[in-house]
Amino acid sequence: MINMWETWCGPCVNEMPDLQRLYTNYKSRGFLILGATASEKSEIRSTVRSLGVTYPIIMRNYQFNKFDTGYVPTTVFIDGDGYVLSSEPYVGGRSYAEWERILLSYLK
């Protein structure tokens, strides 16, 4: 899962604890979350520390254009061979139950 987020975005930081829970529960099945952001590094560090996020955070740049919807959070799923799984990116924050349902549909 590539989750594009920003530190100033309420729905983004709001769903991050749920994403962390999802990562903790499913990483044993090969599930990985990459949080992609263009925010300032100091703000990223304090946000990640405060929310207890342990999944990798990467810097977002123009290479993410193909997934860009103009909104954050935007999330896409990519399989182990590099194929994009979702026909449309997921726009907006979701609850743990919603993300789990989506994830399980891909893990099947």
Partner 1 sequence: MDNKRKLLIQSLAALVQNADFRGFFSGRVSGAATKKVCVPGLNCYSCPSAVGACPIGSLQSSLSSFSFRVPYYIIGLLIFFGALLGRAVCGFLCPFGLLQDLLHKIPFFKKIKTFKADKYLRFIKYAVLIFGVIILPVFIKLTPVFCKYLCPSGTLAGLLLAFSDTKLFALFGGRFMWKACILGIITLASVIIYRPFCKYLCPLGAFYAPFNKVSLLQIKTDAEKCTNCKACFRACDMCVDPSLHPDSTECIRCGKCISACPEGAIHYSTLLSKGASLQNNKMKTAEVEYEQEEKAGTD
Which residues lie near partner 1 (CB under 8 A)? 6-11, 13-15, 17, 38, 43, 46-47, 50-51, 60-62, 64-65, 68-72, 91-95, 98
Shortest reach from residue 59's CB to partner 1, in Å: 11
Shortest reach from residue 91's CB to partner 1, in Å: 8
Both structure tokens of 102: 């989506």
For residues 26 and 87, give the distance between their C-alpha atoms in angstroms, rounded to a whole number. 22
Specify the amino acid at residue 31: F
Phi, psi of 102 (to 5 degrees): -65, -45
